[in-house]
Structure 1
């Protein structure tokens, strides 16, 4: 574990960590920055390559047990670190890694798995909402996420932190043409597409019976789902609520849908296993 002391915040070796509160330069550089002990460790333990770590001089002894021996670890005076990154460096650790490649549609689909759930986010603009969606998707067994060009960066520092590093485990496709991608999955892989909407004429979640291959589309926090994208959906599902509010947070709605699908997925997988067990042997 090479511990490298940093004497000045102008050291070019730590430039990637500068002004993180106000900038997201990592997106254009093919890198990402993980903040907090939990997320930094998940990066180190993931399949993504960790490039460097930056730790506070107050945390060296506490963190020494898990620091990877092959990765440069820059040690900086705590107050200097706060000045460098642009916020209170209370976690005492940041890690920089290479972003995972965006999977192809073929890589998102497992032909040997009978029940699959994908989630599409055309324009989730808030990084924290996206982070919660990713964390919930990972918790409830979603198989992959497809984000449109109008969606927040799934590997930004804020999104990674809120997702508690789940973005490092969940396959995430950054689509250049979301509508075309969904149409391909629909036509070539027999996925059915469901739009999560606010419309009392739509099917309530209590009556939803999910298909074996499902893509759930989550709309923008303010404007919902574009008409052209909603037009290719096979289903329109809604979460009934009182008239005390017009809507609930998109991440909260996602969690309700994901839990429902997870329960139904377990049942469908058991049915599939029973069919296989009862099939005549050749």
Structure 2
């Protein structure tokens, strides 16, 4: 039973709130029974379980190290207002990009973790093959991002990297690239949907960067009848992904 915030284990777990430490250790924190059970069911490597004294696991931990901590420490480590009594330290998992992939969504400098996580969740629901987080996009292993995915992080391959480079590589694999943009854009319904498609959504304020717009085969936008100037990026993503899966 760990009761001191000064405990070495507690200090290491708390460091995982910082991207730098997550990258160094290639591990990250997951909070809550639902997310941890999804990670376990999806065979993501769990290194350690952290539980409050009274918490009862819903699955057999096998030989996993299990640490019991006080409520005070759980609250200290928790990213939520009310802790759920369980945390896990998971290893980052690299999933090879498959030649069979046909639908890929890319995020260009999307900085809100709720938006980014919701897009991953929606891409999972709409049958997309992968999501790519470009440079400047919030860290996929940020606790708020993970929570917003509602477990889809463990079902859907998520990659990170330079989006102009990814776009060029996808084109070599036979993908067409659509970038969302009002200027010089076409209504998305007016275009024939290609067999293999990568679609880019941009920063909430600045849109898709010019370098990617230059690479893109098409610029697309969502026609709107009302007076709103724009849509939330996760809502726009949901509209386009629903349309594209219906056309598949």
Structure 1: gaps (5+ residues): 266-282
Mapped pair 1:28 → 2:28: no
Mapped pair 1:68 → 2:64: no
Post-superposition Cα deviations, 1:47-84, rounded to whole Å, max 9, x if no partner, equal 32101111122323xx2x41412111111121332134
The CA deviation at 1:248 is 0.7
Local SS of the residue matching 1:253? helix
Equivalent position to 1:135, from 111, 118, 121: 121
The CA deviation at 1:40 is 1.1
Mapped pair 1:185 → 2:175: no
Post-superposition Cα deviations, 1:113-141, rounded to whole Å, max 9, x if no partner, equal 7xx10111121111111100100000101
Structure ID, larger Rg: 1
The CA deviation at 1:256 is 0.5
Preserved contact between residue 18 and residue 86 of structure 1 (Cα < 8 Å): no
Q: Alpha carbons of 1:166 and 1:198: their partners in 2 closer, same or farther (altered >3 Å)? A: same
In the TM superposition, what are the counterparts of 1:70-89 in structure 2 within 5 Å?
Answer: 70-85=63-78, 87-89=80-82
What is the CA–CA distance in structure 1 between the aligned matches of 2:73 and 2:179, rounded to whole Å?
48
TM-score by length of 2: 0.91
In the TM superposition, what are the counterparts of 1:142-181 in structure 2 within 5 Å?
Answer: 142-175=128-161, 177-181=162-166
The CA deviation at 1:160 is 0.8
Mapped pair 1:109 → 2:99: yes
Post-superposition Cα deviations, 1:80-104, rounded to whole Å, max 9, x if no partner, equal 321344654431111111001264x
Q: Alpha carbons of 1:209 and 1:136: their partners in 2 closer, same or farther (altered >3 Å)? A: same
Preserved contact between residue 31 and residue 78 of structure 2 (Cα < 8 Å): no
Structure 2: gaps (5+ residues): none
What is the CA–CA distance in structure 2 between the aligned matches of 1:57 and 1:159, rounded to whole Å?
27
The CA deviation at 1:264 is 0.8
What is the CA–CA distance in structure 2 between the aligned matches of 1:48 and 1:68, rounded to whole Å?
13
Equivalent position to 1:46, from 42, 48, 61: 42
TM-score by length of 1: 0.81
What is the CA–CA distance in structure 2 between the aligned matches of 1:86 and 1:153, rounded to whole Å?
15
The CA deviation at 1:220 is 0.8
How many residues get paired? Answer: 247
Post-superposition Cα deviations, 1:22-55, rounded to whole Å, max 9, x if no partner, equal 6443233211111121111112222321011111
Preserved contact between residue 178 and residue 216 of structure 2 (Cα < 8 Å): yes
What is the CA–CA distance in structure 2 between the aligned matches of 1:59 and 1:81, rounded to whole Å?
11
What is the CA–CA distance in structure 1 between the aligned matches of 2:80 and 2:236, rounded to whole Å?
31
Equivalent position to 1:119, from 105, 112, 133: 105
Local SS of the residue matching 1:75? strand
Preserved contact between residue 31 and residue 98 of structure 1 (Cα < 8 Å): yes
Q: Alpha carbons of 1:196 and 1:228: their partners in 2 closer, same or farther (altered >3 Å)? A: same
Partner of 2:53: 57
What is the CA–CA distance in structure 2 between the aligned matches of 1:237 and 1:9, rounded to whole Å?
51
Preserved contact between residue 188 and residue 221 of structure 2 (Cα < 8 Å): yes
Equivalent position to 1:235, from 213, 218, 224: 218
Q: Alpha carbons of 1:26 and 1:129: their partners in 2 closer, same or farther (altered >3 Å)? A: same
